[in-house]
Amino acid sequence: MILYNDGISLKLPPRIKILEALGCIGDQRIKVINDKEAHVISSDYTRSYHVYIDLDSRAVFSDDNGTKFRGYVGYPIVAFLMLKGILPLDENLVKALAGIPWKRLNETYKDYQVVEKIVLQKAKNFGIEEVYIQDFIKKVLKELASLRLKYVKLDKIKRC
């Protein structure tokens, strides 16, 4: 695999990654280290990701596969931006999406649309309608697009 080019603008993530970020927060799998750094544990608790965000330079780093190899803003970055108050955060969605085995679902179905339907049904069981969730995802993606984030290798970032 080739590491995503340093300094290149990251693409928007698949829609489901917004929901996965909320689930990460709900599971308390993100630990904020300081204003620019966090550690995120994967949904199956077998991996950890280092996240770095410098909004002044729009530079971000995360060693999750989506960010590092596929060139989009991965859910660890999205979750950290939500906790920092940069992106919208909905506490009801956080509660509804806690406990979802994201990795298992993604590997089992290999189709984000199928996984999204499963997740939307779980949220509906919490009384959250699909239209609300779809609107929330659109809002987050719009705000995320306005940030114009760039992937930067961690060794090129001045550490705090």
Range from 7-11, 94-98, 123-127 carrying the lowest mean pLDDT: 7-11
Torsion of CA 48, 15, 32, 87, to 10 degrees: 170
pLDDT at 1 over 50: no
Q: Is the pLDDT of residue 52 over 90?
A: yes
Tens-digit pLDDT profile for residues 77-100: 999 999 999 999 999 999 999 999
pLDDT at 8: 86
Q: How many domains does the chain fold into?
A: 1
Judge whether 140 lies within some domain: yes
Enclosing domain of residue 27 = 16-155
Question: Does 160 fall in a domain?
Answer: no
Q: Give a yes or no: residue 10 inside a domain.
A: no
* Residue 5 resides in a domain: no
CA distances from 96 to 37, 76, 82 (A): 26, 18, 16
- Go through the chain and tell me how many residues it has: 160
